[in-house]
Structure 1
Amino acid sequence: MRLSDVLNKAPDGAVYQIEGFLGGRPLRWRRHRNIAVGKVFHNFHCQQCGDQRSFQSGTSLACLGLGDRAVSIDATLKCPGCEGRVEVWFVVGSENDIFGQAPHVRLERYTENLRDRAVSIGEITGPFADLVKRANAAYEAELGAGSMVYLRWILESITCEVAEIANVPTVGKKGGRVPFRDLLERVNDQRSIIPQQFSSNGYKLFGESSEVIHGNSTEEEALKKFKPCLQLVLGVVEEVNRDNVFASAIDELGWGVDDIDVIAGDAS
């Protein structure tokens, strides 16, 4: 296996044994060297082409030494259709000397700079896309609490927006805001925005972010919680998007809620 095979698997962080790529010579701290390890390929949705493309690098990659057991690699990837360019950055670590003949390496960090020219495959779009990008950027910068702030912001925002659509009151009888736990439960009863797999623990998701934000978790704990919490928050966003698509389809067909009940009854 060559180093490019590992880079192509990003963000996979598994350990792989690869062919030596530094010629048995150490690459000292902050020293650069061009390496030939095969081309890097990553699939993105090209904004110019309007379709998925396999962006690829050249045959030579820029490598920066980070000590005897790590290197940083920069690569410019080009769309084969319009030749639009994006940048990707990798940090590769090794269990032994990374300049050896057959080092065991793993991808420790992967960052994309798509410059509005491409979108990651499967990346969320819509009104919360920017907040998700900010959350991921904070995570990449190892800002655990900061990354969780954005996740809570998304969850609060989408709940309040759906509450407005579904005419669920966000203000209590005395003029104060409805506690978020109650609002989330009421909104979910009306529109089922929480994925069924964890519908009974919807508020616990909000609580995880609150624990971090209020200083009850360390930065290390916050970073460990980020990825699973992100997936759950994205699950809520997907449920809302799915509901909106369904509602739009009903409107376009001229069906009413009663019609849907009849059709469902006939199909059963």
Structure 2
Amino acid sequence: MSDTGSRTRTRRDDDEDFWPADRSERSGSRRKLLIAAAVVVVLAVAAATAFFLLRDGETAAGDGRPVPTVYTPGDADPGTAALKLRSADARPLNAGEVFTPQAKSVGYKTYSFSLVKSEISTDCKSVTWGSRLHGDLAKYNCTQVVRGAYVSKDKRHVGQFIALNLDRQEGADQIVQYLGQGATSGFVLPLRAPGVEGFGAGFSAAYGQAYGHYAVVVWVQRAGGGKPASLNEMIDVSIPVEKPADFVWGRLSLLDGATGAGR
């Protein structure tokens, strides 16, 4: 597999069990990321769909700014086209609508997580790094970065939920795609909290998608950064951590209600 630098990674025979099955997708989630298809594309043409950003345990510029080992961007959700402009959805996000009671204790299959800390920053630059990302955040008038840190009930996995509030879908799309361009493009800083110290060191995986003018990223790893048994493990772990993204559907309902009331 190709990463974003001069190094080339190839899939070895003894790595066969690490990769998702050919028909694997993020079932159970509204984001139907075809992980296996992405892997096939990258292996075939080194395209920008699923990237190995750094070797296990590396951080950008060696200064403690972690990026995921594997990053997979998805296409914008077509069901959220009504949210393509923030001008139609101007009210700022608040913690209560994102981190609802249902989003504080989440689960999928055998994985159960609890939200241990959340934060909404109105200074997008202070909780991100990278000149490319900072330029995009300014260009698309980022006003909020929402972050939530999760720890699994058995303490074996940790996760980060991230949502960026941009002024239009074009910006969310661009940021979701270019986060995967390597250590020079930048990333969102993980939220530090009890149980997630050192998040991003070792092996981690992240999945990005645009929902209208919001860019959502889910970032997960085994506690301590150990390599998972397969990428399917990371996919399954990411699904419950994605639960706060349901705020998008609430926003759509409000828009539909406002449109109906105005008829």
The higher relative CO (CA closer than 8 Å, separation ≥ 6) is in 2
TM category (shorter chain) comes to: under 0.3
Superposition TM-score, scaled by structure 1 size? 0.27
Query: Which structure has the larger Rg?
Result: 1
